[in-house]
Structure 1
């Protein structure tokens, strides 16, 4: 469905402006925090955010995804920096990782995203929502020592969220709590009909109001009582170059003289694999949230992400990938096309050049309020109810994915959820591959074995057991009318049973649409 048909051009542009602005406000501190947690220069996170918005946003066919540095890459970046030691050498690995991703796109490796069931994707979104909510709690009360918003409750440095919460509620800030309460009130009230009935208010991003309110309250408190005002790491901390030379000095270039170092290629492969998988999962997840239900071409996405990492590595940026949190924030603010990603990247570029001191006045408490509301929308109770109502086959993989991500990390949790989902697929394939029904006609017992749509080698044992227990002097009907595929191993079992049936005086007939499935008929009859 065309975006214009449902929303109208003006509405779509306004929503994209809001989405790009809100995601930009959220991206600034996250780019810096993730860079800090990854052990790379802070400005490399900003560079990756700009490249993710402008380069990937321009090349990608995804209408809602926004790319940049992502917390799931922290561990692999830390390991790579430790292995390669020098940042320019690390940039070379990022550059090569981008080339690998482009190659994967041409090899059509994006098909892997089709093998992730929707229950696992929804579980991933819900888990991210829960973690977002939990990880904002310290910031809401003014404890801002840990700026990186990761996808795991347990940090690589062992300083987990429970420890942070304990310390946070012992070292809370009244100013931060005041800003948080007012910010959450604005975000909640802004969605109410009373506010949305006014066109002017409807087109003003609630997040912009929240950020402006936070800056204003903190400046007012600073003028009245400087000791109570938020400062330092309670605010966004963006590098502020004094001169053009100072700004250019924030960029670093790869060390191409290290091209013969095998560790560079091993590191590049690690970055490419993790970044590609996270990008594909993020694209799948954002497509699930898309109200227009558009499907993004995954192979094109791999190429776009790869070119993004090539550019990022060339100019001093850390690796990037599609970011669910940023994309969700943008979507919730009204974004409906890729213009939001381009606006997001443009604002990052303009503001880090012209307005870094203004951005450095934004309290973390304001941004935490925005992320908390986003987390709630990802993990609403209604989503859990819908998955439960869909049945155990949907609910168990969903809830397993949620719990596994909370207890481990994003990729491990998804792997566990996928394994549970695969188990139920195999179980259903095993159970529903055939049915047996016994009845009598004129006093003679007839046994009908109805084959399912897909009969695999997993059903060999159960079919063999059924055939062995058929009594003498029976009439057996093997119904294949619903079968689109029967594994050759199963066909061999049926043929073997037919060849020996006369020894037990068993009559066999096959029910199948011979005209429609001659090859299957031929295989059974052989």
Structure 2
């Protein structure tokens, strides 16, 4: 790190303002696309981006992380809005989730992310990716407005709606399909090495090109191929005139939601998943920060919670730290969090000044962006890598995915965690002791070294090992390395000591406490 580099908020604007502009160009289509996929008003995605940039950007201790609406919450948001049926009640859940996040921050719970196995986290992201892909298909095909678009958008375990996707061939818009294909081609092209190595092209975000191309193609259709023109399946933001018009469009939460148990359940789910995703994104951003700064996780939870409480008050989607925006920020050469704040200001200005231009964007363009995001979350190579790591990694990964796709996000994570815990117990079961042998040591001597932590879970394995010792041996049970030996294990050792005389076995213990064995007779 260059010692001459200063990281005060306004000392590096020459680097931070251009970086903020790049992040804005990446974030704008994503804010709209994620709101679309969440079944929420598109304007709520813009609000979340504004709050994530200005409020969270200012409060966060990270110089690189950028927050906004996240793909990882789309499943929760879509199901929550459907369950509650009223968007204002959902905003109550967002407000409560923010309060819970602030409480977690003050309780120093920022280490929560370290207790989730990587296999479950990857399974969560892959499951979200699969659902994201399924839900974008109707928009990518451009279902005609004469049909009920909602009928073609499956929920997590809505198998009838999944079957209905087969009927899209009768309802599709060829104009939307063309825009989707062109958009996907641009996104894939922008992933190629020759683009990433070009200094000029790296400052042009792929999602921005997709949006511009979609608008341009649709305008071409309007004047030259009218039958392909997309008239209604486009972004629909409210017409806003200035700051007063912006505030007039804001929506606040419904107070009655504070007395509804299902609102609290949704709030808890959002708080846990949003906190986890934020902490993981924060850690990932720190790893690619060229200055290797470490961001405070507890402060991040407080910042995210404050942002979500404000979103609940003014009508924004729940937000998290987002690695896509954060990596774009770092790649663009930012120095401080001023870039994240500036990107939020640009989102605010765009919502107030150019809503009519944003309303020209075809939904098919946003669907193409989200299809690629979904694919990145659930690549075939990810499944192959997890399989090669062994069943203890692959099974929790697969169970999490299946649980999320066929039930819901929280249950899927719970199932994955349960499988991962079983493997942890099995490993703990095997690693309670090991046989220690010294060169030249008498083969009649069996030296058993106990592990650092020996709990009741190790009781069965130790009983089996002691029962398998041949008669006439000399046994040394060594607890020198043990910090904790459970009473159940001490009882097993004491029973073995008592019965050893009958088998002509000599037992010596080292740093293994003696215990009294009660009798049932």
Specify the TM-score bucket, using the shorter chain as the normaliser: 0.7 to 0.9
Tell me if the contact between 1:53 and 1:345 (Cα under 8 Å) persists in the aligned partners: yes
Whether 1:250 and 2:254 are equivalent positions in the alignment is: no
Residues in 2 aligned to 1:190 and 1:280: alpha-carbon distance in whole angstroms? 31
Greater Cα offset, 410-419 or 70-79: 70-79
Match of 1:366 in 2: 365
Whether 1:475 and 2:470 are equivalent positions in the alignment is: no
Residues in 2 aligned to 1:97 and 1:184: alpha-carbon distance in whole angstroms? 35
Deviation at 1:435, TM superposition (A): 4.0
Residues in 1 aligned to 2:319 and 2:247: alpha-carbon distance in whole angstroms? 25
**How do residues 74-473 of structure 1 correspond to structure 2 at under 5 angstroms?**
74-80=78-84, 87=88, 94-143=94-143, 154-155=155-156, 160-163=161-164, 165-232=165-232, 234-241=233-240, 246-253=245-252, 263-264=258-259, 266=261, 269-287=264-282, 289-290=284-285, 292=288, 297-314=296-313, 316-318=314-316, 320-322=318-320, 327-331=322-326, 333=328, 335=330, 341-435=340-434, 445-473=444-472
Deviation at 1:131, TM superposition (A): 2.8
Residues in 2 aligned to 1:289 and 1:130: alpha-carbon distance in whole angstroms? 22
Deviation at 1:363, TM superposition (A): 1.1
Deviation at 1:284, TM superposition (A): 4.3
Greater Cα offset, 238-247 or 218-227: 238-247
Greater Cα offset, 213-222 or 454-463: 454-463
Instruction: Provide closer, same or farther for how the CA distance between residues 67 and 524 of structure 1 changes in structure 2, counting only shifts above 3 A.
Output: farther
Deviation at 1:213, TM superposition (A): 1.2
Greater Cα offset, 501-510 or 359-368: 501-510
Instruction: Provide closer, same or farther for how the CA distance between residues 182 and 156 of structure 1 changes in structure 2, counting only shifts above 3 A.
Output: same
Residues in 2 aligned to 1:194 and 1:223: alpha-carbon distance in whole angstroms? 35
Instruction: Provide closer, same or farther for how the CA distance between residues 283 and 480 of structure 1 changes in structure 2, counting only shifts above 3 A.
Output: same
Secondary structure of the 2:142 match is coil
Residues in 1 aligned to 2:171 and 2:381: alpha-carbon distance in whole angstroms? 35
Residues in 2 aligned to 1:494 and 1:101: alpha-carbon distance in whole angstroms? 46
Matching residue within 491, 501, 523 for 2:513? 523
Deviation at 1:237, TM superposition (A): 1.0
Instruction: Provide closer, same or farther for how the CA distance between residues 296 and 282 of structure 1 changes in structure 2, counting only shifts above 3 A.
Output: farther
Residues in 1 aligned to 2:77 and 2:227: alpha-carbon distance in whole angstroms? 37
Deviation at 1:156, TM superposition (A): 7.7
Residues in 2 aligned to 1:341 and 1:408: alpha-carbon distance in whole angstroms? 36
Deviation at 1:249, TM superposition (A): 2.8
Residues in 1 aligned to 2:201 and 2:443: alpha-carbon distance in whole angstroms? 79
Match of 1:57 in 2: 57
Instruction: Provide closer, same or farther for how the CA distance between residues 28 and 64 of structure 1 changes in structure 2, counting only shifts above 3 A.
Output: same
Tell me if the contact between 1:53 and 1:67 (Cα under 8 Å) persists in the aligned partners: yes
Tell me if the contact between 2:140 and 2:367 (Cα under 8 Å) persists in the aligned partners: yes
Deviation at 1:454, TM superposition (A): 3.1
Deviation at 1:504, TM superposition (A): 3.8
Deviation at 1:481, TM superposition (A): 5.4
* TM, length-normalised to structure 2: 0.81
Greater Cα offset, 300-309 or 240-249: 240-249
Secondary structure of the 1:160 match is helix
Deviation at 1:265, TM superposition (A): 7.2
Match of 2:8 in 1: none
Count the aligned residue pairs: 495
**How do residues 7-86 of structure 1 correspond to structure 2 at under 5 angstroms?**
17-31=21-35, 34=38, 37=39, 43-61=43-61, 63-68=64-69, 70-71=73-74, 72-80=76-84
* TM, length-normalised to structure 1: 0.80
Tell me if the contact between 2:131 and 2:405 (Cα under 8 Å) persists in the aligned partners: yes
> What is the RMSD computed on CA atoms of the aligned residues?
3.9
Unaligned runs of 5+ in 2: 6-11, 517-521
Residues in 2 aligned to 1:493 and 1:470: alpha-carbon distance in whole angstroms? 14
Instruction: Provide closer, same or farther for how the CA distance between residues 155 and 524 of structure 1 changes in structure 2, counting only shifts above 3 A.
Output: same
Residues in 2 aligned to 1:137 and 1:159: alpha-carbon distance in whole angstroms? 15
Tell me if the contact between 1:140 and 1:176 (Cα under 8 Å) persists in the aligned partners: yes
Instruction: Provide closer, same or farther for how the CA distance between residues 403 and 158 of structure 1 changes in structure 2, counting only shifts above 3 A.
Output: closer
Secondary structure of the 2:405 match is helix
Instruction: Provide closer, same or farther for how the CA distance between residues 443 and 208 of structure 1 changes in structure 2, counting only shifts above 3 A.
Output: closer
Tell me if the contact between 1:280 and 1:298 (Cα under 8 Å) persists in the aligned partners: no
Q: Deviations over 1:233-269 (max 9, x none)?
A: x2111111468765443234567xx6xx695374664
Match of 1:516 in 2: none
Unaligned runs of 5+ in 1: 512-520
Instruction: Provide closer, same or farther for how the CA distance between residues 462 and 221 of structure 1 changes in structure 2, counting only shifts above 3 A.
Output: same
